[in-house]
Amino acid sequence: MKTTVNINDRIDPLAAEWEQLAQHLKASPFLRPGWVDAWWHAFGVGRLQILAAYQNGRLAGVLPLRRYRGVLSSTTNYHFPLFGFLAANGTAVEALAHALFSQKPRRIDLSSLPSFDAGVALVHTAAEAAGYRVIANSMHRSPYVVVNETSWDAYQSGLSKNLRQDLRRRKRRLEQEGRLTLEVCDGTENLDKLLEEGFSIEGSGWKDAEGTSINAHPATRRFYTEVAHWAAEHGRLRLAFLRLDGQPLAFDFCLECHRIHYMLKTGYDPAYATFSPGKVLRHLMLARAFSDGLAIYDMGGAAEPYKQTYTDRIRELHSLRMFAPTPLGFLDRKAFEYGRPAYARVKGLASSILDERSFRLLKRGRRRFKA
């Protein structure tokens, strides 16, 4: 079966086929065109380059990338939980992996790759064939709860006694203050009003002060707003509110797709910190996952201590940095290994030894450089 790879600079012409492929493969929301489109509108710098693999005239694989200053990288940042190769089969993955090196960028960076992604090993092989040096790192460990292996009662009994007692106490204290309710919305009604309310809660307290909230940066707010509208249109949005007499105390921004619940953002009103409304919301949302028959409750992000009280299941996420066998690839690798000062020293030494024309030719990659 012949596999060809095209490079596209726009999402729209691919979107319908891309979404159809993702739906067929039951892919996560983060490998779908709507998510990547929202991310690019908010954070995209440089040129969008989407590798699209075709087999017998049909789309069989997609890998969205960006090119900026000679570096090819995944369309990822702090707000992109999971990246990877969307492919119908191993042949398509292999074709995409080799296509990464077809334009001979000086460096290739891929982040947020799960260890189970078939592309990780194939990229290593393709990099070796192209003469690139690979540095692989573990980024973080992301926790999740397997919901469909046990009952809610059995899961709760596996939590620590102190946690169960504390959850009951916090919930009881809140109920003494008024009517406590859990509200989970899919965004089909009053979406913008709900987002305004949720973003305000998510950013209250230390998040706004440290600049990590959704409201802290216009680009971040734009991203989550676009994601919300896209996800609501496809039935994947879940906005969760813990309310006391109608007043929101805690908020989750989540997606659900193919029976997997993804928690992306969460926050609570610091005025109620002594009641731990975030902890109460987490307990209620986990209970909902079991009652709704979900398969996995993905807690997202890094394995923070509070998350590990709910589960010992961890997903490893990796990054791959690949450096070309050229002078600029060598300089990039040294900068990564030893920091920017080393880069400046090596670049300065190269400039002093080489005449201007030779250094310019080397910079363009016309001479091979053995690292």
CB–CB of 241/251 below 8 Å?
yes
Domain for residue 192, yes or no?
Answer: yes
252 inside domain: yes
Amino acid at 248: P
Name the one residue in this structure whose structure tokens are 């509108």.
41
185 assigned to some structural domain: yes
CATH number at residue 201: 3.40.630.30
* Residue 339, CB-side half-sphere exposure with 13 Å CA sphere: 1
Let me know if residue 265 belongs to a domain.
Answer: yes
Measured CA to CA, the distance from residue 191 to residue 197 in angstroms comes to 10
Residue 155 lies in a domain: yes
Question: In which residue are the tokens 């899919």 written?
Answer: 186
SS3 content of the chain, % helix, strand, coil (to 5): 45, 25, 25
Please check whether residue 172 lies inside any domain of the structure. yes
Task: Give 351's pLDDT tier (boundaries 50, 70, 90).
Answer: very low
**pLDDT tens track for 73-86:** 999 998 999 999 99
C-beta of residue 298 within 8 angstroms of C-beta of residue 260: yes
Rounded to an integer, the average pLDDT of 20-25 is 98
The predicted model gives 251-277 an average pLDDT of 96
State which amino acid sits at residue 200: S
User: Does any domain span residue 228?
Assistant: yes
Domain count, the chain: 1
pTM beyond 0.85: yes
Residue 352 reports pLDDT greater than 50: no
Residue 199: how many CB atoms within 10 A of its CB?
22
Q: Which domain range does residue 191 map to?
A: 148-294
Q: Residues 81, 116: contact at Cβ < 8 Å?
A: no
Query: How far apart (Å, rounded) are the C-alpha atoms in residues 73 and 309?
Result: 35
Residue 322 in this model has a pLDDT that exceeds 50: yes
Residue 161 lies in a domain: yes
